[in-house]
Amino acid sequence: MKLASLETAIDVISNELVNNSPYLPTLPDVAINIMNAVSKEETSPKDLAAIILTDPAISARLIRVTNSPKFRGRTEISNVQMAVLRLGNNTIRTLVNSMITQQLFAPSSKFLENEFKQIWELSRNVSAASHFLCSFAPHLDPNEAMLAGLIHQVGKLPILMMIDQFPEFEEFKESPTLVGLLLEQAHGTAGKIVMDKLNFPATIKPVASEYNNFRYDAGAKADYVDVVQVAFLQSIAGTDHPACRVDCSIVPAFAKLGLSFDTETITLENISDNIELVNSLFG
């Protein structure tokens, strides 16, 4: 069966996702256990370290991150418990969630590999830029902003998996233009459903559904949507992305961060430490 129109395709996707689709991503047990442990005041660094150690890959990355320029101190960190003591529970939770986000981008076909790679590369860039932009919004947590940057297009993942698996989407797989149109129109709605499913912090949940709403304005102070919007727009500048046509003078996020919409704030030079932090998370 072929889909009659783009609108029909969006309806199929929406119906599938709201009915608890198997294409919705889920967090691994270690992430859930860490979030549960961090929420309890009685959890000691030793207890939290023991949970993290159940995942050797995350343990190794966490030690590497703790020794990166953004977190390192006078003493080199050599074990997970030392990392927990240096970073604190909330930072640990955010960093582990960031590391685990990469697992959501594991492709199961050549089609998904190509699509996921493009999204992941942009997400890493937006993540590093979001971390940097928090220097203009000191009331926000840069590590939370980094996570927000990583997940800003997470709604595209279940859509792409459905395109890959559903026979009625075959014509979409053969047309990058159709795939692009479907993703741009549907991934915000899908992103909201995914964020509710993953139970990520409430402060970053709106990012996946609102980052491309360029008239978004939730108050006088910048929030994580504002940060990711600016990071996204500056990350795609000079490309053929449709959002490059946005009139940035109407985007409230720039003014909230005290930035000029027509000035390039983010350069490789001034976010080098932020890029190194992201690289230490993902290798």
pLDDT tens track for 222-263? 999 999 999 999 999 889 898 999 999 999 999 999 998 877
Q: Which of 36-45, 53-62, 269-278 has the highest mean pLDDT?
A: 53-62
pLDDT category at 1 given cuts 50, 70, 90 is very low
Residue 279 pLDDT > 70, yes or no? yes
Nearest C-alpha neighbor of 248 from the set 234, 266, 258, 238: 234
Task: Indicate yes or no: pTM above 0.85.
Answer: yes
DSSP string, 57-82: HHHHHHHHHHTSTTT--SS---SHHH
Residue 45 pLDDT > 50, yes or no? yes
Q: Where are the domains of the chain?
A: 27-104, 106-283
Q: For residue 108, how far is the Cα from the chain centroid?
A: 20
**CATH, range 106-283:** 1.10.3210.10
Nearest C-alpha neighbor of 272 from the set 64, 61, 96, 70: 70
Helix then strand then coil, in percent of the chain rounded to 5, is 65, 0, 35
Nearest C-alpha neighbor of 208 from the set 222, 195, 226, 227: 195
pLDDT category at 154 given cuts 50, 70, 90 is very high
Q: What is the pLDDT of residue 122?
A: 96
pLDDT digits (tens, 9 = 90+) for 65-86: 999 888 888 889 999 999 999 9
